[in-house]
Structure formats: C-alpha cells, structure tokens
Amino acid sequence: MKNLNSKYEIKIYQASPKNLSRFVLGSGGKRPLFVIGLNPSTADELKPDRTISKVIEYARKNRFDGFIMLNLYPQRTTDPKELHESLKEKRHNSNVMAISIIIREYRNISIVAAWGNNIESRPYLGEMFGRHI
C-alpha cells in the first residue's frame, strides 16, 4: 500500500482561498477509499486530524492504496453545532462541483458514509440527498 505508509502524504487538496471550506483531501492512488463525512475539521495538506487518521487506518486495513475524503458540507468546524444555520449555496455548489470532478476520475469506487447522527444537526444536511449528492 504505497500511498498509505506511515508518512502523511496528501496529493489532492482543494479548499477555499482562506481555508474556511475544504472540498477534497486525499492521498489518491489507483484504488482509493472514498469517505464522505459531515464536514471537515482541522486536517489539511500538512497534518491529519483524528478523523483522517482513522480513515487512513481503515483504508490500510481494508487494502486500499489511498483515500479521498469528501464531506456533505465543506465548512470547517470542530463542532457540527457551529455549522451555518442555513445552507450557503455558493459553498455547497463549490463542494458539489469538486466532488463531481474527483469522482469522475475513478472507476468502480468504494464509498463509506461516515457522518453519524450529527447529520441531524442542520436540516439541510439530510436534505442534500434529494438535491445533488
């Protein structure tokens, strides 16, 4: 598993100019695990957070050669209760565009949905399935 060695190597990183939103974070690979979380926390191209560390370990144990982390909503916060009260269309649309582009680059992808009960923290999160994602 070349891309999931002990060194943290991020080859795909897409975020807003001030890094207030993160759209895609990953190591790439020929067969990466795609994970869709609720929203990004503190991980970036230089250091993982607890969630990304767990994603990397899960991908490694299940014989994927990389990972790609996506989120239902791109706003960075460590507490889902701090997410915007209402969906910000521009951020959401940028997120959907980034997800669409990265998914088209791969065939036969494996996806893990990893948002838990916090999806209920904002009504728009659950509504996204009827919208774009």
What would the pLDDT profile of 47-101 be if each residue is shown by its tens digit? 999 999 999 999 999 999 999 999 999 999 999 999 999 999 999 999 999 999 9
- Which neighbouring-strand residues pair with 111? 34
66-71 and 22-26 as β-strands: parallel, antiparallel, unpaired?
Answer: antiparallel
Helix/strand/coil for 101? helix
For the whole model, what pTM was predicted?
A: 0.91
Domain map (residue ranges) of the chain: 2-131
